[in-house]
Amino acid sequence: MLTHTSARAVFAKRPDIKEAFHRVSVNLPGRMMLADRTEHDCSAVDMSPGDAVITAPRLPKIGERVIAYIDHIGRLEGTALSLPDRNSFIMSIVATERKREKLAAQLTWIANRHELGLPEDRRHDRLTPRRTLTEITIEDGRKIACRLIDLSLSGAAVDMDGRLPIGTPVRLGSLRARVVRHFADGIAVEFSAVQTRESLAEFL
């Protein structure tokens, strides 16, 4: 398991394969649209900032354009590179260098999730934010722009510039919280009270 390693180090390109990245195992559901504009359920099972292994009931043809919306990751666009078996395909990820860095941070956080104070258990439902841009307010009134990576009834992970000390009281949007962990390119916060799905829907 990856533990608090920088995204850049984790996903450095392999020197033996041009434009290749190390993948990490994930289990993220989503939806994909093929070139004929049909939509299908899918799941990402391995991902890197450069490609992803996707399972789906219908597979694209090699070279076919694919757009996928993956929980906790967002929109991915690319083409089918190969069909390793009858249930999956490898998809390239077309992205700018900046977007690849953000994706590396997201994947590093997912790989380290059990370390970040947002445990992957069934006590608290997790939501995939559709509106990711928000802000953190600290006690002196300063506001810091940030981007939601993941959200649950008990806390959130956000991508932001700089690090606030662990224990710092903050407000994420209108929700009171405190900083509980640091990770690559962001922080994890724990809400002062466990939220309801309705209160998070209002927040989003």
Q: List pLDDT tens digits, range 4-60.
A: 444 443 444 433 333 456 788 888 888 999 999 999 999 999 999 999 999 999 999
Domain co-membership, 90 together with 122: no
Look at the chain and report how many structural domains it folds into: 2
Phi, psi values for residue 198, rounded to 5°: -70, -40
Per-residue confidence (pLDDT) for residue 171, from 0 to 100 = 93
In a domain, 50, yes or no: yes
Does 143 fall in a domain? Answer: yes
pLDDT for the residue numbered 14: 37
CATH number of the domain within which 164 lies: 2.40.10.220
Quote the mean pLDDT of the chain: 79
- The residue-averaged pLDDT of 95-109 equals 83
Rounded mean pLDDT of 171-200?
83
How sure is the predictor about 169, in pLDDT bands with cuts at 50, 70 and 90? Answer: very high
Tell me what pLDDT residue 10 has. 42
Taking each continuous run of H as one helix and of E as one strand, the counts in the chain are: 3, 13
Structure tokens at 144: 């810091």
27 and 85 both lie in a single domain:
yes
Q: Determine, yes or no, domain membership for 163.
A: yes
pLDDT of residue 15: 37
Residue 87 located in a structural domain: yes
3-state helix, strand, coil in the chain (%, to 5): 15, 45, 40
Is this model's pTM higher than 0.85 or not?
A: no
Q: What is the pLDDT of residue 90?
A: 96
Compute φ and ψ for 201, nearest 5 degrees.
-60, -40
* Mean pLDDT computed over 87-99: 92
pLDDT top residue among 189 and 115: 189
Across residues 125-149, what is the average pLDDT? Answer: 82
Q: Is residue 43 domain-shared with residue 122, that is, in the same domain? A: no
CB 90 within 8 A of CB 81: yes
pLDDT (tens digit per residue) in 117-133: 444 444 445 666 667 78
Higher pLDDT, 198 or 96: 96
Q: Domain span at residue 139?
A: 114-203
Identify the domain boundary among 96, 123, 155. 96
How many CB atoms are closer than 10 A to CB 125? 13
Is 106 among the domain residues? no
Domain's final residue, options 96, 124, 147: 96
Say if 192 falls within a structural domain: yes
Q: Are residues 92 and 28 in the same domain?
A: yes
Q: For 57-64, what is the mean pLDDT?
A: 95
| One domain, residues 72 and 38 | yes
pLDDT value at position 21? 65
Q: Is 73 a member of any domain? A: yes
The one-letter amino acid code at 102 reads: K
Is the domain of 85 the same as that of 15?
yes
Can you give the pLDDT at residue 113?
60
